[in-house]
Each structure stands twice: as C-alpha cells, then as structure tokens.
Amino acid sequence: MNARARAVMVQQGKVPRLLRLRNNIVARAELLGKVAQPIAPVANFALNLKPARKLAESIFSIHHQAPFPPFSSERFTSWFRKRPHPNLAGNKVVYFHGCSTQYYEPRVGRAAVQVLEANGFEVIVPPQNCCGLPLLSNGEFNAARRYHQKNVKSLVDYARQGIPIVGTSISCTLTLKEEAPELLDMYDEDTQLVAHSTYDFNEFLLLLHEEGSLNDKFQPVNLNLPYHVPCQYRAHRLGRPGIDL
C-alpha cells in the first residue's frame, strides 16, 4: 500500500524534485555499481570522506554517519566467468545473484554456486539486472516495470524448460515472485511463469532435503553463529527455512 501511495504521489508530481532525485539515485543500485565498482578503492575512499558525507547530508538528507557498504574489488559475474566449471551432467539451476552479490558481496554468490554444484547442479548465470524493488519502494513504477520486463525476458526461456530460478537475496526473489507482478499488475503468462519458477535459496535446499536428494555430507563447524531471520520471510510466507534447513 505504501508503494502504491508513493506511485500516485510521483504521478501527480507531489514528491519534491530534490527528494525524488535522491530516491532515484539511491534506488539504482545497479547503476551505482556499474559506475563505482570498477574504481572500488577510489569510490570507497571518496564515499567516506567527511566533506562528501556532509554534502550528501545537506543535499540529499543522507546522514553523514550512515554506513555505506563498500564496493567489492571484483564483480561476482567476473569470478563466475573465469572460474573452472565442473562437468556436471544432469540437473540445471539458474542463479539470480542480485545487485548486492554482484557489486558488494560476491562471496555470497561464490558460496551459493559451490553449494549448488555440490548438489549436482550445473549453475547458469544469465544476463540480469536489478530486480527493481528499490524503485518500487519509492513509487517509481515505470522504471521498475522496465527492469522487471528485462529480467522476465532473460529468465523465461529457462522457466519454460522447467529449470528453477534460485536467488540468495530474499528481497530479489520476493520481487520476482510477488512484489513486481502484483504492484505493476503484470499478470501475463511469461511473468507468471518466472514467478512460479523462482525460489529462495534456503527454500530450494529444503525442498531438496524433503525429496531426499540434498547432499548432507557436511562437516561440523565448531563455532556459535548468530542468525537473524530476514523479515522478508514473513512476506514470503515460508516460515523459517534457514533454521529448518
């Protein structure tokens, strides 16, 4: 409801121009990543300079002490392309990495690929862009629709083949499954097929376990690890698959 209300305000021109500019900049994580990640050391340094942070606060109301996630020195897809791919005959899975893994935390994607391959899946990483959730949240529905349409076009052929689409970003998978189709009234066949073929990473592994096909040859980890259940699981209506797994 909040997103729809913001969309109406955007359409009616009731969002102040400077605020809308701020929202559009912050909501385009993919664009920021493409620009800043290739110069990660410089970008990370510049984004944490006190004068720059004070300027961002005065112009865009981004608090000068708000932490900025550092850009990674390597994109996830760069690692994926140059790594040796095991010869796995059989099941395939599409990995939707999202902007966070692509530009900030490629270690998440590396771990996901290794787990999926350990379960006998050939991992496919097709061209993809931002899921559009930040734009949806700011009421920029037209821009979000373009993002979602591109993702559907890139993913639908795999969905037609029965290849599951798995994502490690719960926000991204929820957007592909529900948020974008519902908020944007996209109920066409391709969009619905992609939605029904998309799984959260823990959800997918739990399904493998229920089928009796999950590789459970684990080794103990002698650590106490805190785990925060993501709030998006409530919207997913999946329970707590990470803990269950």
- 96-154 pLDDT, tens digit per residue, is 999 999 999 999 999 999 999 999 999 999 999 999 999 998 889 999 999 999 999 99
* Percent with pLDDT over 70 in the chain: 100
Return the structure tokens found at 23: 């929202």
The mean pLDDT value for 174-181 works out to: 93
Reported pTM: 0.91
Residue 119's nearest CA partner among 180, 164, 155 is: 164
* Residues making up the chain, counted from first to last: 245
Pairwise CA distance, residues 112 & 31, whole Å: 24
Inter-CA distances, 137 with 31, 52, 108, 180, 181, Å: 17, 26, 24, 10, 14
Query: What element of type H or E holds 123?
Result: strand 122-124
CA of residue 224 relative to chain centroid, distance:
27
Return the structure tokens found at 129: 């862009």
Inter-CA distances, 104 with 46, 201, 231, Å: 16, 19, 21
Pairwise CA distance, residues 160 & 164, whole Å: 10
